[in-house]
C-alpha cells in the first residue's frame, strides 16, 4: 500500500487514475475529511498552548486589580489634619488641598503634599492650616490615572466658641444597616465638626469587612473627620483571635500602638479609653472588660481629668451602666470613681446595641450602640439606679452641641430608621425626616468648680472646703494618696465611693462657716501628714513611725500624770 501511494501518475492503471482527479467524488470526500479534521487538531493544539503557556504569562504580567479604601481624615487640630487611605498594592500618593472657599471660587488647589512611603495604609499629615476653616482635598495614589473623586472636605478645630459633634457606635458595617445612618448624617448635618466613634466598626478583623465599613460610611467620611475608640470586635477573626490589625492600620492612633488617647477642641477635652481586654477572650471569643485593664489606665485618666478645661467628655466601648444589671460594671469602677472625683461633662459608650441614657450624680451617661449592630432587647425593669430612658430597634446617632460661653451642652438622640428583624429578610423603614427621640441640656462643668475634685452638683469635698482651694498643697497630697493607694485595691475604692456619697452635705456645711473650716483643717493635719509620709517612704515605714510616735506620746503622758499624781500625794 505504501509503495502504491508513492507511484507516479503515469504508472496508475485505468481504475486508479480517475481517483486522482480533483473533481472525482471520492477525492472530494477525502479532501473534505482532511479539511475538517486537520483544523480541529490545530485548534485543540492552539488552545492547549494558550492555556499552559500564553495565559500564565499574561496573568503574571497583569497585576491583580488594586483595591482602594477612599480617604478619611483623622487627628484634626486647629492647624493640622491627617489624611488616610488604603491601597492593596502598597503605593504612595499625592494630596492636593486648599481652603474650600478657594477651591469653590477657582476649581483648583494651591497646595500639594507628596508622600513617597510605599505602604498599604497611608497617613499623611497636612500642617500650616487655618483654625476653624473648611478644607477641600483629593488624593491620587501613585500609578493611578484617576484621583479619588469627588473632592472631599474636613474642618479644622476652632480656637474657641460653640461646635457640634456626632457620636455613633457599633456600626457593624457588614450587616448593611450602617449606610442608612452614615447617609442620614451626611444629608442632614451641615455644621458638624467631627464624628466620635465608639468602636465595633465591623464584625471581624478582615479586609473584606473593613472595605464594607468604608464603602457604607463613605458619604459621611467624605465630609467629616473621625476620632476612634477600639471595640471588642476589632479583636475578632472568623476562626481565631486577631490583634486589631485593621483598626491600628486605619486610624494610626499613636506610634507606639496605644489605644487610650485624648484631644482638645475649643477648651473642651475628649478622653478616649480602651475597655476590651484581649487577655479575657477565649480562643476566637469575645474580649470583655477587666479590672486590671481599667486600673492600668486610671493614673493616665486621672491626669487627663485633672485639668482646667471648660469641660471634659469621655468615651469607651463598654458601658459602665447598662440595662441588664442593677449595679455598675465592677471592672470599670476605677473610671466611675474618677468621673465623680473630677466631674466630667458626660460620658459615651456602645457595645450594647440600643440607645440608653442614665443620670448618675448629675452626670449624663449615654449608650449609643445603635448604628448598625444586631439589636439588644430592653428587658423589663428594674434597671440600674440613674436610668432615664432607652429604645431599641432604631438606627440612629447622637448629636452634641457644645456652648462653652454658656457652660452648657445639648445632646439630641436622632433616629433615622426602624428595623423589623422578626422577618426574613428584615425590613428597614427609613424615615423621610429623622425623628428626635431624646434631648438633654446639661452643664459642661458643675457650677462653682474651677477644676476637678468637686462633688456632684458643685459641692466641694471636705478637704477642698476646709483648705479653701482645690490647688492647696494639702489637698493635692490627699488627692495623690487616694490615686496611688486607695484606687489600687477594692477596700480603698469602696471607701472612696462611700466618701463621695456622704461628703457633699458636710462640705457645704464646712465651706459656709469659717470656725468649722478652721477646726476641720486642724483635724485633717494628721491625715495630711500620714498621706505625705506614705507618698515619700511607703505605707509600712509610715505606720511604724506613727506607732512609735503614738507610743512615745502615750508613755510621755502616762509619766507626766504619774509625776503629777505623786507630787500631789
Q: Read off the pLDDT of residues 155-170 as tens digits, 9 standing for 90 and up.
A: 999 999 999 999 999 9
List pLDDT tens digits, range 527-549. 998 999 999 888 888 888 878 88
Stated pTM of the model: 0.71
In degrees rounded to 5, what are phi and psi of residue 64?
Answer: -60, 145
> Which pLDDT score, from 0 to 100, does residue 239 have?
60
Q: Cα–Cα distance between 64 and 11 in angstroms, integer?
A: 66
Strands 163-168 and 121-126: unpaired
Assigned C-alpha cell, 193: 465638626
List pLDDT tens digits, range 262-302. 999 999 999 999 999 988 877 667 799 999 999 999 999 99
Tally of CA atoms within 13 A in the half-sphere of 150 that contains its CB:
7
Give the lowest-confidence range in 48-52, 218-222, 541-545: 48-52
What is the pLDDT averaged over residues 478-500? Answer: 75
Scanning 275-414, the segments in alpha helix (DSSP H) are: 291-305, 333-341
Q: Cα–Cα distance between 75 and 531 in angstroms, integer?
A: 40
List pLDDT tens digits, range 341-395. 999 999 999 999 999 999 998 899 999 999 999 999 998 888 888 899 999 999 9
> Which pLDDT score, from 0 to 100, does residue 143 have?
63
Mean pLDDT score of the chain, rounded to an integer?
Answer: 83
Which residue is associated with the grid cell 436622632? 414
Helix (H) or strand (E) holding 127: none
Question: Which letter does DSSP use for residue 482 in this model?
Answer: I
Question: Which letter does DSSP use for residue 487 in this model?
Answer: T
Amino acid at each position: 500500500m505504501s509503495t502504491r501511494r508513492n507511484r507516479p501518475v503515469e504508472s496508475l492503471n485505468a481504475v486508479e487514475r480517475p481517483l486522482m482527479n480533483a473533481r472525482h467524488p471520492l477525492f472530494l470526500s477525502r479532501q473534505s475529511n482532511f479539511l475538517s479534521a486537520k483544523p480541529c487538531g490545530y485548534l485543540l493544539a492552539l488552545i492547549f498552548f494558550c492555556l499552559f503557556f500564553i495565559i500564565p504569562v499574561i496573568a503574571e504580567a497583569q497585576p491583580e486589580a488594586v483595591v482602594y479604601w477612599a480617604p478619611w481624615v483623622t487627628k484634626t487640630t486647629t492647624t493640622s489634619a491627617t489624611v488616610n487611605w488604603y491601597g492593596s498594592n502598597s503605593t504612595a500618593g499625592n494630596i492636593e488641598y486648599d481652603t474650600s472657599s478657594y477651591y469653590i471660587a477657582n476649581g483648583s488647589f494651591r497646595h500639594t503634599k507628596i508622600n513617597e512611603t510605599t505602604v498599604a495604609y497611608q497617613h499623611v499629615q497636612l500642617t500650616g492650616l487655618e483654625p476653624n476653616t473648611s478644607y477641600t482635598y483629593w488624593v491620587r495614589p501613585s500609578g493611578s490615572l484617576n484621583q479619588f473623586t469627588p473632592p472631599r472636605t474636613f474642618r479644622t478645630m476652632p480656637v474657641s466658641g460653640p461646635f457640634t459633634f456626632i457620636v455613633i457606635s457599633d456600626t457593624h458595617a457588614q450587616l448593611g444597616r450602617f449606610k442608612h445612618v452614615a447617609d442620614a448624617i451626611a444629608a442632614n448635618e451641615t455644621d458638624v465638626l467631627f464624628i466620635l466613634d465608639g468602636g465595633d466598626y465591623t464584625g471581624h478583623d478582615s479586609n473584606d469587612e473593613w472595605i464594607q465599613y468604608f464603602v457604607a460610611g463613605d458619604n459621611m467620611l467624605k465630609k467629616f473627620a473621625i476620632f476612634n475608640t477600639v471595640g471588642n470586635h476589632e479583636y475578632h477573626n472568623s476562626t481565631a483571635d486577631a490583634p486589631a490589625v485593621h483598626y491600628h492600620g486605619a486610624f494610626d492612633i499613636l506610634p507606639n500602638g496605644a489605644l487610650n488617647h485624648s484631644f482638645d477642641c475649643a477648651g473642651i477635652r475628649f478622653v478616649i479609653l480602651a475597655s476590651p481586654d484581649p487577655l479575657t477572650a477565649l480562643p476566637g471569643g469575645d474580649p470583655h472588660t477587666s479590672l486590671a485593664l481599667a486600673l492600668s489606665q486610671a493614673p493616665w485618666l486621672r491626669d487627663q481629668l485633672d485639668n482646667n478645661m471648660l469641660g471634659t467628655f469621655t468615651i469607651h466601648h463598654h458601658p459602665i451602666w447598662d440595662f441588664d444589671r442593677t449595679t455598675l460594671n465592677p471592672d470599670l469602677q476605677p473610671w466611675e470613681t474618677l468621673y465623680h472625683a473630677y466631674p466630667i461633662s458626660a460620658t459615651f459608650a456602645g457595645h450594647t446595641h440600643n440607645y440608653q441614657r442614665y443620670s448618675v450624680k448629675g452626670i449624663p451617661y449615654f449608650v449609643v450602640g445603635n448604628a448598625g449592630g444586631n439589636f439588644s432587647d430592653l428587658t423589663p425593669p428594674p434597671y440600674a439606679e440613674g436610668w432615664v430612658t432607652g429604645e431599641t430597634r432604631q438606627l440612629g446617632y447622637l448629636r452634641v452641641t457644645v456652648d462653652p460661653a454658656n457652660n452648657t451642652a445639648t445632646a439630641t438622640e436622632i433616629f433615622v430608621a426602624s428595623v423589623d428583624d422578626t422577618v426574613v429578610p428584615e425590613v428597614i423603614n427609613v424615615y423621610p425626616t429623622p425623628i428626635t427621640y431624646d434631648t438633654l441640656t446639661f452643664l459642661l462643668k458643675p457650677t462653682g468648680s474651677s477644676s476637678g475634685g468637686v462633688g456632684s452638683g458643685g459641692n466641694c469635698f471636705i478637704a477642698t472646703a476646709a483648705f479653701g482651694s482645690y490647688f492647696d498643697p494639702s489637698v493635692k497630697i490627699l488627692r495623690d494618696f487616694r490615686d496611688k493607694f486607695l484606687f489600687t485595691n477594692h477596700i480603698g475604692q469602696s471607701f472612696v465611693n462611700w466618701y463621695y456619697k456622704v461628703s457633699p452635705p458636710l462640705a457645704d456645711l464646712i465651706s459656709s462657716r469659717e470656725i468649722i473650716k478652721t477646726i476641720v483643717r486642724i483635724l485633717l493635719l494628721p491625715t495630711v501628714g500620714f498621706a505625705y509620709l506614705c507618698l515619700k517612704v511607703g505605707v509600712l515605714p509610715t505606720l511604724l513611725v506613727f506607732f512609735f510616735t503614738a507610743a512615745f506620746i502615750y508613755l510621755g503622758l502616762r509619766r507626766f500624770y504619774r509625776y503629777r499624781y505623786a507630787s500631789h500625794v
